[in-house]
Every structure is written in structure tokens, then in C-alpha cells.
């Protein structure tokens, strides 16, 4: 989708405050799953919640929406702002490496050991309580797990049991304080004044 566009700085693929945050995403819900917009009490702001108490495999959102399309984002740093809701949680990023092989990186909080298969690398994911900032370098990850070079991101898939605020790709690594204000978490002004 974005392979032929100029990509620099930040590219956000999800922000919960927009009008249609899931315009590019496809929603998949299982029997016990739910994807909805909620107001998070910690930040008093709208976030998206993906929950499934039984099977996280069937409740997820995926970008791009069309399964036959790919993102084609070349920015290697991925930043996600996600709330840990005490349940199984998993996300997956599909990338293309310089050998034109599709690789998948899946981080799951129920896993303890990393397994590297030719097509998928499953990693353990550890989250702190509350809101979490997840940042990693896809280029580095590709290099370390497969020994190849990262070319572009094809697909991002977020599975159940989390609250989602933002998913953004960036050109380089930014620490939390270097992000623009709207990338951070904040209490709304009204709450601050009330407090």
C-alpha cells in the first residue's frame, strides 16, 4: 500500500483518537471476543480494547484490512502503546527480508523461550502492569533471528487481550520523552485542572 510513498519521520498506523482508527484494519472476533472503543480510566481517554476470554487466536485486528495487500512500510522502528489487561496477549508483525522471504515475528506473553522457524519467530513478551511502551527494531530483529536484512513491513496483527492506544513506525529510535506530545500518554487538561 505504501511501498511507493515517501516514508520518513513517523508513520502511525493506529491512533485511538481518530474518527475511524480501524479504517485500515480488519476486525476478527471469535465467539467470546470483543473489539470496542472504551475510555480508559488511567488516562481518561478513548482507547480500543480487544478482549477474548477463551481463544485469542480468533480475536484480533489486522492491518491492512485486505488479506492480499501489504503495508510496505520501510521504517524499521516499531512503537506501540499498549495496556496490559492480565490475559494472554500476542501480536505479530510480518515482514519481508532482503531475500524476499516473508518472516513473521510473534511476541506472546505466555511464552518463555524463543523459537525460530524459517517462517516464524516466536518470542516471549513481557509487559509491566498498566500502560506499556513497546519499542523494537525490526531490522535488528531480522538480522539476529534470520541473518537477513529487513526490507519492509507487510502486516501488523494485534491479538486479543489488550488495550490499544497507538502503533507507529519511525525512522529512528526515539525515547519516550523525545516523542511528540500526542504520542505520549497524558491526562486530559480537565482532569488535571480538577485534580
Site for other proteins in 105-134 (CB under 8 A): 106-117, 119-134
The total of other beta-carbon atoms located within 10 Å of residue 74's CB is: 19
- Compute the least distance from the CB of residue 146 to other proteins, in Å: 10
CB of 74 to other proteins, least distance (A): 12
- Cα(184)–Cα(167) distance, rounded to whole angstroms? 12
Q: Tell whether residue 18 is a contact of other proteins (CB under 8 A).
A: yes
Please report whether residue 148 would count as binding other proteins according to CB under 8 A. no
- The answer to the question of residue 149 lying near other proteins (CB under 8 A) is no
Secondary structure of residue 21 in the 3-state scheme: coil
Q: How far apart are CA 97 and CA 103, in angstroms?
A: 7
- Taking CB under 8 A as the criterion, the residue among 22, 26, 32, 46 binding other proteins is 26
CB of 82 to other proteins, least distance (A): 7
Q: Does 85 bind other proteins (CB under 8 A)?
A: no
- Residue 79 CB coordination number (10 Å): 20
Other beta carbons within 10 angstroms of residue 61's beta carbon come to 25
CA–CA separation, 93 and 71 (whole Å)? 11
- What whole-number distance in Å separates Cα of residue 120 and Cα of residue 146? 10
Site size toward other proteins (CB under 8 A) is: 83
Closer by beta carbon to other proteins, 28 or else 151: 28
* Minimum distance from residue 57 beta carbon to other proteins (Å): 5
Applying the rule CB under 8 A, the residues between 54 and 83 that interact with other proteins are 55-57, 65-67, 71, 73, 81-82
Residue 60 forms beta bridges with which residues?
Answer: 28, 159
| Closest by CA position to 102, among listed 89, 115, 117, 123 | 117
The residue (of 96 and 121) whose beta carbon lies closer to other proteins is: 121
Q: Which is nearer to other proteins, 38 or 134 (CB)?
A: 134
Q: How far is the CB of 112 from other proteins (least distance, A)?
A: 5
Binding flag, residue 168, other proteins (CB under 8 A): yes
Cα separation, 28 vs 54, whole angstroms: 14
Using the rule CB under 8 A, is 34 a contact of other proteins?
no
Amino acid at each position: 500500500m505504501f511501498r511507493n510513498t515517501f516514508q520518513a519521520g513517523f508513520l502511525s498506523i493506529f491512533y485511538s483518537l481518530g474518527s475511524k482508527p480501524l479504517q485500515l484494519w480488519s476486525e476478527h472476533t471469535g465467539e467470546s471476543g470483543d473489539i470496542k472503543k472504551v475510555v480508559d480510566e488511567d488516562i481518561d481517554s478513548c482507547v480500543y480494547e480487544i478482549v477474548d476470554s477463551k481463544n485469542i487466536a480468533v480475536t484480533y485486528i489486522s492491518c491492512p484490512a485486505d488479506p492480499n495487500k501489504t503495508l510496505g512500510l520501510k521504517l524499521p522502528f516499531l512503537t506501540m502503546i499498549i495496556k496490559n489487561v492480565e490475559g494472554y496477549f500476542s501480536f505479530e508483525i510480518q515482514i519481508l527480508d532482503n531475500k524476499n522471504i516473508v518472516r513473521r515475528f510473534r511476541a506472546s506473553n505466555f511464552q518463555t523461550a524463543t523459537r525460530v522457524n524459517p517462517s516464524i519467530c516466536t518470542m516471549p513478551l513481557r509487559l509491566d502492569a498498566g500502560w506499556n511502551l513497546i519499542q523494537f527494531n525490526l531490522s535488528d530483529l531480522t538480522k539476529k533471528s534470520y541473518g537477513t536484512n529487513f526490507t519492509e513491513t507487510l502486516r501488523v496483527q494485534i491479538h486479543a487481550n489488550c488495550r490499544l492506544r497507538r502503533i507507529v513506525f519511525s525512522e529512528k529510535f526515539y525515547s519516550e520523552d523525545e516523542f511528540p506530545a500526542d504520542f505520549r500518554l497524558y491526562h486530559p487538561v480537565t482532569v488535571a485542572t480538577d485534580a
